[in-house]
Amino acid sequence: MKISTSRVIAAAAAFAFVAGAASCGKDVPNAEQSSQSYTIAGGEVTSTQPASEETTSSGEETEDTTSTTTASGVVVGEPRVSGITLSYTSADILVGQTLTYPLVSENIPEVWTSSDEEIATVDSVGNITGKSEGTCTIRVVSADDSKLGAEVKVNVKKGSGVEVNNGVTYIDGILVANKSYSLPESYNPGGLTPDTYAAFQELVQAAANDGISIYLSSGFRSYELQSQIYNNYVSTYGKETADTFSARPGYSEHQTGMAIDVNIVDDSFIGTPEAIWIEAHCEEFGFILRYPYGKQEVTGYKYEPWHIRYIGKENAKALRAEADKRDDVNLTLEEYLGIDSYYH
């Protein structure tokens, strides 16, 4: 299979940041921190079920006509594209979910577009993100020949209840990774998701405006890296203690590319101006304090004021509203979604 030149360039450009690697969202006091190289992914990758055989997008080449978009999202009037084979030509995704790019058969300079960016967007390497309910068409063409291309019909729906997609669990559209819900070993977005990274940059700037310094200490971790970290802690502290502050491989939120440890990753961070600011403001940027005080029996982890998780501004706002309704400022994601967190 040939690899797109644009994808190689995009992948190479992703290696841009270095951050300290720790446990599931933490170090223990005086634990030595290691450093990790992390990247910004093209998107949070959720594998699609590949077709049993590669299929070619339908349609024949035609001349240009007037361009309109139907209610179903199909672009009418643009030249039909063909000549490129994709690993899939249709997809169902949830609002807020990002689908990894379809594999392209030809080595071409790819140009990706969406017929309706209010329904779904696509990045420069073909990762597709659901924005609102509806149907649209994602198109890839060669930068050298606009008639050489293919299309993917995308149906975006709002998450409701529990859905499992290739081993990844979504509850009400939120990707869940805790002691009860694991991720496949192969799940690897390659770094922080673009939405997570962009939101964190906004958070950092807002904190700076208030005279508070927030920085990333640990971001994305692969299954393999988490396995090394966890096993090291087990060797040092024993399994029972390690399980209170470090996730077993496949159960870490860091593997989602949507979790970040900020600043000092140990108990000395508790009560600092930075910790207080994070707890008061992170939801404004789509983050939640994932392991709040007094909720170890619920989350399965000790209090970690440095560990934040991106769930999107709307979800973070809804969780806060529910917390106010229940008069529980430390409402957890588990309590909000009605799930548990323990190794079954």
Catalytic residues: 304
Determine how many CB atoms are found less than 10 A away from the CB of residue 108.
Answer: 21
* Tokens matching residue 77: 């009037």
Count of residues making up the chain = 344
Token reading at 33: 């921190």
Q: What one-character-per-residue DSSP string does 156-196 give?
A: EE---SEEEETTEEEETTEE--SSSS---TT---SSB-HHH
Q: Are strands 90-94 and 145-157 parallel, antiparallel or unpaired?
A: parallel
Which helix or strand (DSSP H or E) is residue 199 part of?
Answer: helix 194-209
SS3 of residue 263 by DSSP: coil
Spatial contact of 164 and 146, defined as CB atoms under 8 Å apart: no
Which of 111, 117, 115 is closest to 140 using CA atoms? 111
CA 246 to chain centroid, in Å, comes to 20
Q: Would you state the torsion angle of the CA atoms of residues 160, 135, 164, 162, taken in this order, to the nearest 10 degrees?
A: 0
As given in the structure block, the two tokens for residue 110 are 């790819």
Q: At what angle do helices 273-281 and 194-209 cross, to 10 degrees?
A: 120
